[in-house]
Amino acid sequence: MFNMYVLLFILLVVGLIALTIYFVVKVILKFINKPKNKSVRRALAIRNGTIIMVQSRERESFHAFSQAMIDIGVTDAIYLVGGDAYGWYYNAEHVRHVFGKKLADIPENISYIVWR
């Protein structure tokens, strides 16, 4: 009987230590894991039933960009590569709109997203 109480006590102590470590790590990660990288952000999105391309004017965190899209009424979005990445899209009138910086040593992108 004595051994069972000792075993239960040890399990309780180990459990309390594990919980303490879990909460300490969780608090530390909360401070460490703040958004750090800022970049020009882009997304294909739907707002008021219309398909739009959204691009930030300045470098910002992913969280700030997501919140800005919510603030302007975007209901659905697909995040695209941001920064200075080169790309283009064609509007409903088949006019090509180019964005980003085209680098001479990178072949033209042939990946397409068709959203209808």
Determine phi and psi for 82, rounding to 5 degrees: -105, -140
18 and 52 belong to one structural domain:
no
55 and 77 belong to one structural domain:
yes
66 and 91 belong to one structural domain:
yes
Helical spans, DSSP H, in 1-116: 2-32, 62-71
**pLDDT over threshold 80, residue 73:** yes
3-state secondary structure 46-104: EECCEEEEEECCCCECHHHHHHHHHHCCEEEEEEECCCCCCEEEECCCCCEEEECCCCC
Highest mean pLDDT among 9-13, 62-66, 104-108: 62-66
28 and 53 belong to one structural domain:
no
Bridging pattern class, strands 42-47 and 74-80:
antiparallel
26 and 65 belong to one structural domain:
no
Taking only Cα atoms into account, the Rg of the chain, rounded to an integer number of angstroms, comes to 25
Residue 17: inside a domain, yes or no?
Answer: yes
- Which residues, in sequence order, are bridge partners of residue 60? 39
**pLDDT over threshold 70, residue 33:** no
Higher-scoring residue by pLDDT: 20, 30:
20
User: Where in the sequence is the domain holding 9, given as residue range(s)?
Assistant: 1-34
Tell me the pTM.
0.53
Total structural domains within the chain: 2
28 and 68 belong to one structural domain:
no
Place of tokens 């800005």: 68
**pLDDT over threshold 60, residue 35:** no
Residue 51: inside a domain, yes or no?
Answer: yes
